[in-house]
A and B are shown apart, each in its own frame.
Chain A
Amino acid sequence: MKLTVEWMSQLRVAAGSAQQLLDCPDGTRLTEALEQALAELPPDRALALRPLLLADEGLSSTLLIAVDGVQVPCGTDPELTAGATVLLSSPIAGG
């Protein structure tokens, strides 16, 4: 199935693009899709992105993650459906 990953804020700069298209097996979960996204990026991009996405406990708890426009509760790993868009943003502030 086809999925779209949209990188926002620092993730967008680290990934080097706003969007990444994935072709995943049916039943792919969020964390599996993100692992695939990292694996398909050029190694230097994946290296820059990985510490922004992952913490000791898995996905960083400060990430804002939404699937098809709805925030995914922290600590959950939903199964994705064909055509889903996963948006990820690291925290940003003022200044």
Chain B
Amino acid sequence: MQPDQVPALSAHEREVYSWQLTVPGHGEAGQLALRGASVLVSRVGGLGSAVALELAAAGVGRLILAHAGDVQPSDLNRQLLMTHDSIGSPRIESVERRLKELNPRLETLCVAENIQADNVEKLVAECDLIVDCAPLFEERLLMNREAVRTQTPMVEAAMYELQAQLTTILPGMTPCLACITPHSPPAWKRRFPVFGAVSGSVGCMAAMEAIKVITGNGEPLAGRLLTYDLRDMSFRNLTIQRRPDCPVCGTTP
């Protein structure tokens, strides 16, 4: 659709987004950019719940949500889109229901699968931007490869204990995930110590990175990696570099 054919914000949308429409540099053009955007969030657990909730609240028009399995009691310390009543039911159903309670205008494509080799192309093709919230490096590296191949921006968020990391990958311009982590680390385990407040903090920041890339308002963490520890509230911004021999985006692989 050409920009001059995009329907203006409705009176209801203006009211819902009135607190952010006045953010300098955002305005109606920024809000229309959010409404026109499709974002893939994989998975929608502790980190992805916070991302999806903030993007739905901000008015992103369409979310592609991938997450397998049923709600477990052990999800509930951090997965804010799951509920006690939904234990034993598919996670993705709880996710969709909670998001649409907040924003009934939201379009969703909900997939009860995690990212894998046979769905990554199809799901990435549906989106303008990816937010990587997956716990396993096999999934993260698959998405990274597809993001680089299709030149799709990807926000990389991660957490551990009271610590978290965040960077934004702009393929061709910044390091990709494989420049930082070229293969699955053998010591990484699917379950690890973390508080929900940690996943919530980095999830909110990842959502803000997505909003900045979509609207062009602000400076994403491109070529920089934020690492922080909420135990002592130390925050560091590192300059990260592309590997010329990166197996995914390198110029001399």
Contact = CB atoms under 8 A, between A and B. Distances in A.
Given A66-B238, A71-B240, A95 B135 contact: yes
Contacts of B46: 94-95
Interface in A40-95: 51-52, 60-62, 64, 66, 69-71, 73-74, 87, 89-95
A69 B227 CA distance: 11
Contact of B238 (A9, A10, A87, A92): A87
B137 A93 contact: yes
Contacts, number: 105
B157 A94 contact: yes
A84 B135 CA distance: 33
Contacts of A9: 160-161, 163, 165
A91 B188 contact: yes
Interface residues of A, number: 26
B236 A87 contact: yes
B237 A93 contact: no
Interface of B: 43, 45-48, 132-137, 140, 157-161, 163-165, 180-183, 185, 187-188, 190-192, 194, 199, 225, 227, 229, 231-232, 234, 236-241, 243
Nearest to A95: B135
Contact of B181 (A18, A69, A91): A91
B249 to A, nearest CB: 14
Contacts of A94: 43, 45-48, 132-135, 157-159, 199
Contacts of A29: none
A73 B134 CA distance: 26
A62 B186 CA distance: 10
